[in-house]
A and B are shown apart, each in its own frame.
Chain A
Amino acid sequence: MVDVFDIYNKMERNNILLSFKGEITSDLLTSILQIMENKMENMQEEPKMKKKVYNVLVECLQNLYHHLDDSSNFTGDTNRSAIFMIGKLDGKYSIFTGNYILNENINGLKARLDEVNSLSKEELKEYYKKVLNNGEMSLKGGGGLGMIDIARKTGEKLEYDFLEIDNKVSFFTLNIKVSQQN
């Protein structure tokens, strides 16, 4: 028997507003965004904060959506699913995502995240413009602009972890914080 109460308590402690585990589809993204927009409306969130959270949500969710496309061929059906959670504690929103990643792709992703985390606000602005103007547009997304944009809009470091599952795949988790002052 699944310990539902345990899951409930863990979510309650982190004040999770919405969570989802499963396959990430385009329709699902539309629904999650609509639900979160309504929730923030009902919570009478400040327009500025609402916009920031919405923007960051779009990038996080679309990262998941596009990434699942990549790894689905290798990791089998069950691994197509991902987890997404958003919570609000002490006036700060936290967005958590988790998805499988091929081990061979870890170094590239880690290097990109570390690069973004090493840059100041002003450097991020320049880096964004450089990638926007010179970067190759991929069919799937902004070609690496997403993480730069998230770091720029939140003013926070991207917290991440890779949990090795076996010699083929790992589970990648990302925690993005959005607070008022930035």
Chain B
Amino acid sequence: MDKYAIEGTPKTPSISFDLNGGVLEIKGRSIPENSIEFYKPLVDALDKYSSAAKPATTVNVQLEYFNTSSSKCILDVFKKLEGINKGGSAVTIHWHYEEDDEDMLEAGEDYQAIINVPFKMVMVAE
């Protein structure tokens, strides 16, 4: 497996994980009732990737909405990335937020405070 991809739905984001290029993208809305079920395959894919991680890993998160149930799962994903970063692959998390969306910027800053991985806050014009 060198690519893990799933399409977005009104309640779940699109995920694209290029294991050869070391690029993970999460985009859209993450508001499922059962987030654990949705995020488990990604957490598993990150586990596999961690044993053969590229020298650099780029993560792009561009969420329009996410619910509190997803916020725990996103933290789990970031904790995996923290481990990968520790293991020698330079991880950068690009956290995108829309210009007027202070709540989304704050949410990114919350993760930044918890996770020991470089974050870049990227403002997106609407």
A34: contacting residue among B10, B69, B110, CB under 8 A: B10
**Could you tell me if B36 and A66 are in contact, using CB atoms closer than 8 angstroms?**
no
A54: contacting residue among B65, B72, B102, B110, CB under 8 A: B65
**Could you tell me if A30 and B113 are in contact, using CB atoms closer than 8 angstroms?**
no
Closest to A129 in B: B110
**Could you tell me if A142 and B72 are in contact, using CB atoms closer than 8 angstroms?**
yes
Known: A34-B10, A132-B71. A66 touches B33 (CB 8 A): yes
Known: A125-B110, A132-B75. A145 touches B68 (CB 8 A): yes
Contact of B42 with A by CB under 8 A: no
**Could you tell me if A58 and B100 are in contact, using CB atoms closer than 8 angstroms?**
no
Chain A interface, >50% SS class:
helix
Contact of B114 with A by CB under 8 A: yes
Please, how many angstroms separate the alpha-carbon atoms of A62 and B101 in the complex?
Answer: 22
Within 8 A of B (CB), among A134-161: 135, 137, 139-143, 145-146, 148-149, 153
Closest to A153 in B: B103
B65: contacting residue among A26, A51, A142, CB under 8 A: A51
Please, how many angstroms separate the alpha-carbon atoms of A93 and B97 in the complex?
Answer: 24
Residues of chain B at interface, number, CB under 8 A? 25
**Could you tell me if A62 and B67 are in contact, using CB atoms closer than 8 angstroms?**
yes
Closest-CB distance, B93 to chain A (whole angstroms): 16
Residues of chain A at interface, number, CB under 8 A? 33
Contact of B34 with A by CB under 8 A: yes
Known: A34-B10, A48-B100. A149 touches B68 (CB 8 A): yes
Closest-CB distance, B98 to chain A (whole angstroms): 8
User: Inside 8 A of B33's CB, which chain A residues have their CB?
Assistant: 26, 29, 62, 65-66, 141
Known: A59-B67, A145-B71. A129 touches B103 (CB 8 A): no
Contact of B2 with A by CB under 8 A: no
Listed from nearest, the 4 A-B pairs whose CB atoms lie closest are A142-B68, A145-B68, A142-B69, A137-B72
New A-B contacts (11) at CB < 8 Å, excluding given A48-B102, A132-B110: A58-B31, A59-B67, A59-B68, A66-B33, A125-B110, A132-B75, A137-B73, A142-B68, A146-B68, A148-B68, A149-B71
Q: Which residues of A are interface residues toward B (Cβ below 8 A)?
A: 26, 29-30, 33-34, 47-48, 51-52, 54-55, 58-59, 62, 65-66, 125, 128-129, 132-133, 135, 137, 139-143, 145-146, 148-149, 153
